[in-house]
Amino acid sequence: SSEVTQDPVLSVALGQTATITCRGDSLKYFYTSWYQQKPGQAPTLLIYNRNDRASGIPDRFSGSYSGTTASLIITGAQAEDEADYYCCSRDLSGKLVIFGGGTKLTVL
């Protein structure tokens, strides 16, 4: 498949670790980036090149990768981390950019 999929919802207790996953065959060959989107706002780049943190992003955000799964890890989740998170990569042809369907993170 040329799609990448995410779990639609995830909950995490305040201060605990949240792992948001992105799955797809193309992830074995192409790098992933991650975006945070809060209501009414444009997405913000968090992670690129699978695990490079964008400028100004807190170090509690990190990326990892194994096989056909990429993960965004939030270590010590804060209330302000409640948002939608999207992964982004390439389809299997390598010609097109694709986004995952997004994960809505709730911080309890």
Partner 1 sequence: QAQLQQWGAGLVKPSETLSLTCEVVGGSLSGYHWTWIRQAPGKGLEWIGEVNHLGGSSYAASLKSRVTILVDKSTNQFSLTLRSVSGADTAVYFCARGLGAVDGRRWFDTWDQGALVIVSS
The reply to whether 58 sits near partner 1 by the rule CB under 8 A is: no
Regarding 43 and contact with partner 1 (CB under 8 A), the answer is yes
d(CA 103, CA 6): 6
Among the listed residues 10, 57, 92, 98, the single contact to partner 1 using CB under 8 A: 98
Q: Do residues 71 and 85 touch, judged by C-beta distance below 8 A? A: no
H runs (alpha helix) in 39-106: none
Exactly one of 54, 62, 64, 92 binds partner 1 (CB under 8 A); which one?
54
Report the C-alpha gap between 53 and 35 in whole angstroms. 11
Q: Is 15 in the site for partner 1 (CB under 8 A)?
A: no
Residue 13 near residue 81 (C-beta atoms within 8 A): no
Of the residues 101, 105, 107, 108, which one makes contact with partner 1 according to CB under 8 A: 101
Interface with partner 1 (CB under 8 A): 30-31, 33, 35, 37, 41-45, 48-49, 54, 84, 86, 88, 90, 94-102
